Amino acid sequence: MDWITKNLPYLMAGISVGGQYALIAIGYTMVYGILRLINFAHGDIFMVAGLVVVYAATVMPIYIAIPLMIIVTVFLGFMVERVAYKPLRSAPRMSIMISAIGVSYLLQNLALYVTGGLSQQYPAIPWISDTVTVMGATTKRVTLITPILTIVLVVGLVMLIKHTKIGMAMRAASRDFETSQLMGIKINNVVSMTFIIGTFLAAIGSLLFFTNYTGVTPTVGAMPGLKAFVAAVFGGIGSIPGAVIGAFIIGICENIIKGLGWTTFSDAFTFALLIVILIAKPTGLFGEKSTDKV
């Protein structure tokens, strides 16, 4: 019993952080699945979502600020794709990658300009910021909500991809652009939809993440973004279940390491894990295997 009360907070934090990484990682993995692009701006969109709540909450009630944040973030994700990636659709993949890096720095610098570089206090969200006690361990309610919400959203997403027409179009486009076009699928709509879903999940992720975090700075998106990216690679980039499982594993391991008193090494662990995976299994846990028949 004593052991549980001592370690439960770390385990709960790990599951919770894992859920937040998962919501970000899905955006990476879906965009990669369709465009074969690592969307470097994804972590920064996550940061912007945080800033929107900070500023919106000063002028309006929180229950309006949150839906507004989701709309603004999704719109930003949509616009980034239309402005920075779509014109490069037939360009070499390196060009679009560099464009993504450009967007990432643009967003960071805009945030620096707006915030003046100061950490902005994230408002307390009622109910989910409340403290609760689970088996003698105190935590915020968000820690308990995150994994449940993550699983609900992931199940919803998997159903969408498996059973709807747009989901079928997404699966087709992630395989073969040309043949998808021959089926009458509008590739641009499919790509936009992918960005909309990815940024929507990142917006929810940011809400959960910042509730547990001190403040929003212009570079705050980098670390969770990078870890979510590692999670996506770990699970096999392009695979949604892979990204989710990878994110939970990374979140839990990281917090167990913190629990053992090695907080300094928790980030190093994540990236060491990435190197080991890339050596041992370059396609990740559920990576695409090429089964093309010629």
Partner 1 sequence: MSNILEVKNLNVSYGGIKAVKDISFVVPKGEVVTLIGANGAGKSSTLRSIVGLVKPESGNIQFKEGELAGLPTDQIVSRGITLVPEGRRVFPDMTVLENLKIGAYMRKDDLEEDLKWVHDLFPRLKERSWQLAGTLSGGEQQMLAIGRALMSKPELIMMDEPSLGLAPIIVQGVFDIIREINKQGVTILLVEQNANMALKAANLGYVMETGRITMTGTGMELLENEEVKAAYLGKAKEK
Provide the binding-site residues for partner 1, judged by CB under 8 A.
165, 168-169, 171-172, 175-176, 178-179, 181-186, 291-294
Which of 127/165 has CB closer to partner 1?
165
d(CA 129, CA 264) in angstroms, rounded, equals: 26
> Residue 14 or 284: which CB sits closer to partner 1?
284
Strand-pairing partners, residue 216, are: 120
Least distance (Å) from partner 1 to the CB of residue 199? 25
State the minimum distance, in angstroms, from the CB of residue 175 to partner 1. Answer: 5
Of 184 and 261, nearer to partner 1 (C-beta) is 184
Least distance CB 171 / partner 1 (angstroms): 7
Cβ neighbour number for residue 183 with a 10 Å cutoff: 11
Nearer to partner 1, 164 or 263 (CB): 164
How many Cβ atoms from other residues are within 10 Å of residue 107's Cβ? 22
CA 184 to chain centre: 31
DSSP single-letter state for residue 69? H
Strand ranges, E, within 88-209: 120-121, 131-134, 137-140
> Cα 267 to the chain's mean position, in Å?
17
Taking the complex as a whole, the smallest distance from the CB of residue 36 to partner 1 amounts, in Å, to 16
Nearer of residues 91 and 148 to partner 1, judged by Cβ? 91
As beta bridge partners, residue 74 has none
Taking the C-alpha atoms of residue 20 and residue 24, their distance in angstroms, rounded to an integer, is 7
CB of 240 to partner 1, least distance (A): 13
Instruction: Please count the helices (runs of H) and the strands (runs of E) in the chain.
Output: 11, 4
